[in-house]
Amino acid sequence: MGVVRPLGGHPQGVIFDSGSHLLAVLCPGTDPAAPASVTVFDDAHTQPRVIVLPGPATALTSDDHGTAYLASHGGYFVVDLEGGHTSQVNVTDAGHAKFTAIARRADAKLVLGSADGTVYTLAATAPGTNTATASNRNKIFARIDSLATQRNNTVVLDSGQTSITTIGADGHVQQALRAGEGATTLAADPLGRILVADTRSGQLLVYTIDPLILRQTYPVRHAPYGLAGSRTLAWVSQTASNIVIGYDLTTGIPVEKVSYPTVQQPNSLAFDEASDTLYVVSESGAGVQIIEHAVGTR
């Protein structure tokens, strides 16, 4: 289904930057210390561009205006997706931190999560600066697997405790809930919801925050993992069967509306709301699948 663009290696993250209309895929190096790269797709037909980073990177986010931010050792990289320019920003007093997650708040502040379970809420930084300061640090987690934001609130996924926790705009911890029996990924959608894939017990969990409430749970077979939110459907990939499903969440119980066969090991998803295009990225090197008119008429 759709067009598959070649992309080897073991991609571990994808974003669609709505302002520049660019898809960016993070590909780690051949070993943990090797430089990572970002492969940028303009559309389904032109040759992608590869931007080599100055060092390893583990996660990415964007400002939806053409700039990507990637978590690294001791700080993060800033990448101009259109021009290809990269720069490195070091976080003060975090030189030994191995950052594993990154997210951007509505007020443009970045949030980083580290392998030792610390969340760093960064103070605002001027463009072009090469250092950043953490205005708050919270070390209450076993590990930080993923971060997502809704407005200026941050949601932390900790697979070690299979929990999600909210951090307020002031950088202080607010509430926490258990996330199934083996949560692995999370994503925010444009309607204020947080989606969580509980891969171990085969569930899609749907939360709202402020306050943090579990609104919906729904069984999803065959190892749910990849997630992407949209205004119409919540997208979930089944990595054991290579299928992606779009669920309507408006009825209170997720309702399957569409499903598509995918590339092998569809671990990462991204969605372009304007063009109704779903992107499915294979973690095993089987490429990037581009499904146009994904929602369609439902």
* Domains identified in the chain, total number: 1
CA 24 – CA 61 distance, rounded (Å): 9
Q: Is the dihedral of CA 229, 67, 157, 37 positive or negative?
A: positive
- The verdict on residue 15 lying in a domain is yes
DSSP secondary structure string, 105-143? -TTS-EEEEETTSEEEEEPP--TT-SEE-EEEEEE--S-
Can you give the pLDDT at residue 228?
A: 98
**What CATH number should be reported for the domain holding residue 202?**
2.130.10.10
- The verdict on residue 221 lying in a domain is yes
CA 39 – CA 5 distance, rounded (Å): 11
CA 122 – CA 149 distance, rounded (Å): 14
- The verdict on residue 210 lying in a domain is yes
> pLDDT confidence of 134, banded at 50, 70, 90?
very high
Q: What is the 3-state secondary structure (H, E, C) of 211-262?
A: CCEEEEEEECCCCEEEEEECCCCEEEEECCCCEEEEEECCCCCCEEEEEEEC
CA angle in degrees (0–180, nearest 5) for 33-269-20: 85
Helix (H) or strand (E) holding 207: strand 203-208
- The verdict on residue 178 lying in a domain is yes
Domain hosting residue 74, numbered range: 3-292
The predicted model gives 22-44 an average pLDDT of 93
User: What amino acid is encoded at 44 in this protein?
Assistant: A
Can you give the pLDDT at residue 2?
A: 87
DSSP label of 73: B
CA 41 – CA 275 distance, rounded (Å): 15
Buried b (16+ CB within 10 A) or exposed e, 237-272: bbbeebbbbbbbbeeeebeebbebebbebbbbbbbb
- The verdict on residue 298 lying in a domain is no
**Could you report the per-residue pLDDT of 162-197, keeping only the tens digit for each?**
999 999 999 999 999 999 999 999 999 999 999 999
- The verdict on residue 297 lying in a domain is no
Helix (H) or strand (E) holding 204: strand 203-208
Give the list of residues 6+ apart from residue 11 with CB closer than 8 angstroms, or none.
25, 26, 27, 39, 267, 268, 281, 282, 283, 285
Task: For the beta carbon of residue 21, count every other beta carbon within 10 angstroms.
Answer: 16
- The verdict on residue 12 lying in a domain is yes
CA 263 – CA 244 distance, rounded (Å): 10
Torsion angles phi and psi, residue 186, rounded to 5 = -145, 160
**Could you report the per-residue pLDDT of 244-264, keeping only the tens digit for each?**
999 999 988 999 999 999 999
- The verdict on residue 122 lying in a domain is yes
The predicted model gives 104-111 an average pLDDT of 97
> pLDDT confidence of 297, banded at 50, 70, 90?
low
